[in-house]
């Protein structure tokens, strides 16, 4: 199978640069590598100049398109972006196209796929993309483009059952598949560190509104005896309430702001934590959650962002119903008996290895895509 996707952040991820990386970018990179390892051909459309920026030796095939820093605000889509993506796609001759993140690029990829007679599949990357919150943060033309594209997708790939149920109501009869996120765990991965070697509560993410840093600030204020280490950097369009919360955290004696943690250092940061605290208002399926569990670090999260309730159902930490319960859960795990804690840590790592391997998720993905290619307008024909 020949698969083409698009993402403008993966070059920064491959370079491990000091750049805010979203969850879809991380997940897409895992998918592409897993599909390549399974014998499929994959490539990624990205920005002009990315090949020189990243350098040689990368497993992911990058195809340059356009420079996003140049062009008129809306007109650039028609005289530059669409023609260059269409030309690059035609030259690559994919069997199917996949895109995540809601916006104009969803429509561009759906349009290009339609012109070339191949299926277009959209990966939903946040719960807000399937309900009334979908329009938040989108300009009118961006929402119009995204809405148009959703009606032209051959199928949706969801992260959880909530997303599937919402889309099934909106698009009855359209194929909708739930494929949980994957995480890479080495076969010789170290056993989880014991409780005695874990000394802080970890928070990791991009500083933006939906991550709810004001809630993190309140919890840190309520628990002065608990040590917090907060890793991340502001989003490019960070809101003022988030900035105020970060400033408040900076002045607490039990909080250390460690800045951006490069991908190469994420595992160590999480493995030495007593727990990962998630304060987000909404997610889809947090990569950080899986990365923490892979190191044997329990997760303390809010119930609405516990994906398909895996933390609750598999006893992988705490899934709190409200803010008060979230704060109490932090205290409970912080003060947990060492033997009990170590058993939880072991359970976390075992769960991830058994349920979220890239190899298994690649098989699920191919199973979802294969029927779409078989029914495409020009199956097996050169573009």
- Asked if residue 188 is part of any domain, the answer here is no
Same domain, 20 and 144: yes
The residue whose two tokens read 């359209």 is: 174
**Is 190 part of a structural domain of the chain?**
no
Residue 137: the pLDDT is 75
Are 368 and 347 found together in one domain? no
Asked whether 369 and 314 are in contact (CB, 8 A), the reply is: no
Task: Provide the phi-psi class of 380: left if phi over 0, else alpha when psi is between -120 and 50, else beta.
Answer: left
Are 123 and 238 found together in one domain? no
- Any domain includes 189: no
Task: For residues 209 and 349, state if they share a domain.
Answer: yes
Res 380: pLDDT: 45
CB 1 within 8 A of CB 373: yes
156 shares its domain with 300: no
Any domain includes 114? yes
| 170 part of a folded domain | yes
Q: Are residues 113 and 237 in the same domain?
A: no
What is the CATH number for 203? 3.40.50.2000
CA angle 294, 298, 304 (to 5 degrees): 105
Q: What string of H, E and C letters represents the secondary structure of the chain? A: CEEEEECCCHHHHHHCCCCCCCHHHHHHHHHHHHHHHCCCEEEEEECCCHHHHHCCCCCCCEEECCCCCCCCCCCHHHHHHHHHHHHHHHHHCCCEEEEECCCHHHHHHHHHHHHHCCCEEEECCCHHHHCHHHHCCCCHHHHHHHHHHHCCCCEEEECCHHHHHHHHHHCCCCCEEECCCCCCCCCCCCCCCCHHHCCCEEEECCECHHHCHHHHHHHHHHCCCCCEEEECCECCCCCHHHHHHHHHHHCCCCEEEEECCCHHHHHHHHHCCCEEECCCCCCCCCHHHHHHHHCCCCEEEEHHHCHHHHHHHCCCEEEECCHHHHHHHHHHHHCCCHHHHHHHHHHHHHHHHHHCCHHHHHHHHHHHHHHHHHCCCCCCCCC
CA 245 to chain centre: 23
Reported pTM: 0.86
User: Which pLDDT score is estimated for 240?
Assistant: 92
User: What is the predicted pLDDT for the residue at 128?
Assistant: 87
Going by C-alpha positions, the residue among 266, 280, 195, 271 that lies closest to residue 231 is 266
Is 383 part of a structural domain of the chain? no
Q: Same domain for 170 and 211? A: no
State the CB neighbour count (10 A cutoff) for residue 188: 5
Shared domain check, 140 and 10: yes
One domain, residues 175 and 204: no
- Per-residue pLDDT tens, the chain, 383 aa: give them: 999 999 999 999 998 887 878 889 999 999 999 999 999 999 999 999 999 999 877 779 999 999 888 767 777 878 889 999 999 999 999 999 999 988 899 999 999 999 999 999 999 998 888 888 888 878 888 899 999 999 999 999 999 999 999 999 999 999 999 999 999 888 778 899 999 999 999 999 989 888 999 999 999 999 999 999 999 988 888 889 999 999 999 999 999 999 988 888 999 999 999 999 999 988 888 889 999 999 999 999 999 899 999 999 999 999 999 989 999 999 999 999 999 999 999 999 999 999 999 999 999 999 999 999 987 755 444 44
Whether 316 and 175 map to the same domain: the answer is no
What pLDDT, on the 0 to 100 scale, is given for residue 377?
A: 55
Domain extent at residue 32: 2-182+358-374
Residue 262 is predicted with a pLDDT of: 86
Same structural domain, 89 and 207: no
Report CA-CA distances (Å) from 312 to 163, 318, 351: 19, 6, 13
Same domain, 124 and 244: no
Residue 299 lies in a domain: yes
Q: How many domains does the chain have?
A: 2
User: Per the domain annotation, does 175 fall within a domain?
Assistant: yes
Contacts of residue 92, defined as CB under 8 A and 6 or more positions apart, other chains included, come to 2, 4, 43, 63
């Amino acid at each position: 199978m020949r698969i083409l996707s698009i993402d403008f952040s993966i070059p920064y991820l491959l370079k491990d640069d000091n750049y805010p990386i979203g969850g879809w970018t991380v997940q897409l990179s895992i998918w592409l590598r897993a599909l390549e390892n399974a014998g499929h051909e994959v490539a990624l459309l990205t920005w002009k100049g990315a090949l020189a920026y990243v350098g040689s030796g990368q497993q992911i095939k990058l195809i340059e398109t356009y420079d996003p820093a140049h062009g008129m605000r809306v007109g650039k889509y028609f005289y530059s972006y669409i023609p260059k993506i269409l030309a690059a796609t035609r030259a690559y001759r994919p069997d199917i196209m996949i895109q995540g993140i809601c916006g104009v690029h969803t429509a561009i990829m759906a349009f290009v796929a339609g012109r070339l007679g191949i299926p277009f599949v959209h990966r939903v990357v946040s719960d807000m993309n399937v309900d009334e919150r979908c329009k938040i943060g989108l300009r009118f033309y961006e929402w119009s483009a995204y809405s148009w594209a959703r009606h032209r997708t051959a199928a949706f790939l969801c992260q959880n059952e909530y997303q599937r149920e919402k889309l099934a109501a909106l698009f009855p009869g359209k194929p909708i598949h739930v494929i949980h996120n994957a995480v890479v765990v080495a076969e010789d991965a170290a056993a989880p560190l014991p409780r005695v070697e874990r000394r802080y509560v970890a928070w990791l993410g991009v500083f933006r509104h939906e991550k709810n840093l004001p809630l993190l600030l309140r919890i840190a204020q309520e628990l002065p005896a608990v040590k917090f280490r907060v890793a991340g950097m502001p989003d490019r369009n960070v809101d003022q309430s988030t900035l105020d919360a970060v400033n408040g955290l900076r002045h607490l004696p039990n909080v250390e702001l460690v800045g951006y943690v490069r991908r190469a250092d994420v595992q160590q940061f999480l493995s030495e934590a007593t727990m990962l605290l998630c304060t987000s208002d909404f997610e889809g399926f947090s990569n950080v959650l899986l990365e923490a569990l892979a190191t044997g670090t329990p997760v303390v999260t809010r119930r609405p962002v516990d994906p398909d309730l895996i933390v609750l159902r598999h006893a992988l930490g705490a899934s709190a119903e409200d803010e008060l319960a979230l704060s109490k859960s932090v205290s409970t795990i912080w003060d947990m008996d060492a033997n009990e804690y170590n058993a939880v840590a072991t359970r976390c790592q075992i769960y991830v290895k058994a349920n979220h391997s890239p190899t298994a998720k690649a098989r699920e993905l191919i199973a979802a895509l294969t029927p779409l290619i078989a029914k495409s307008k020009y199956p097996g024909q050169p573009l």
